[in-house]
Amino acid sequence: MTSGANMRSLLPAVAEQLFRDIQRTYKETCQIPDDLLLALKFVFGPCALQALDLVDQCSVSCLSSPSGRKAFQVMGGSGRLYTCFVSCHYCPCPAFTYTVLRRNEGLLCKHILAAYLCQAMGVTQQESVSDQQMSVLLSGTASS
């Protein structure tokens, strides 16, 4: 039997495979089959359904700059815009701080998960920004 510490180290690989499976099947059928929806719920818990809701609402935009930097903006259920960085698994939302960072009870918040799902499904809204605009986003001085 695998210990809890070993299981946690396997989850990122499991999550990556899950996103690949979603990408493959969504590309072919334009839907996520029930078995993958159940796997999402198992791996990510309650935030999986919330993330899928954000995807359905087209709440995710990928911002890219000429220098190649990327950030995701996700409109939360409360109407607040969150700038997320999937490259370092960071979101400024309270749920990420509390659940992921402080309590270590989840891998991601619903905003980052929605960004990953949109990428896997190929439904991310693309937006180009200048390097200066991206620098402002990265420095955290952009108005919300």
Whether 59 and 74 have beta carbons less than 8 Å apart is answered as yes
Whether 82 and 76 have beta carbons less than 8 Å apart is answered as yes
Domain locations in the chain as residue ranges: 4-139
d(CA 63, CA 72): 6
Whether 115 and 86 have beta carbons less than 8 Å apart is answered as yes
The structure tokens listed for 16 are: 């990556």
Q: How much is the pTM?
A: 0.84
Give 81-115 pLDDT, tens digit per residue: 999 988 788 899 999 999 888 888 888 899 999 99
Give 33-82 pLDDT, tens digit per residue: 999 999 999 999 989 999 999 999 999 999 999 999 999 999 988 889 99
Residue 28 has pLDDT above 80, yes or no: yes
The DSSP code sequence of 5-71 is: HHHHHHHHHHHHHHHHHHHHHHHHHSS--HHHHHHHHHHHTTHHHHHHHHHHTT-EEEEE-TTS-EE
d(CA 69, CA 136): 12
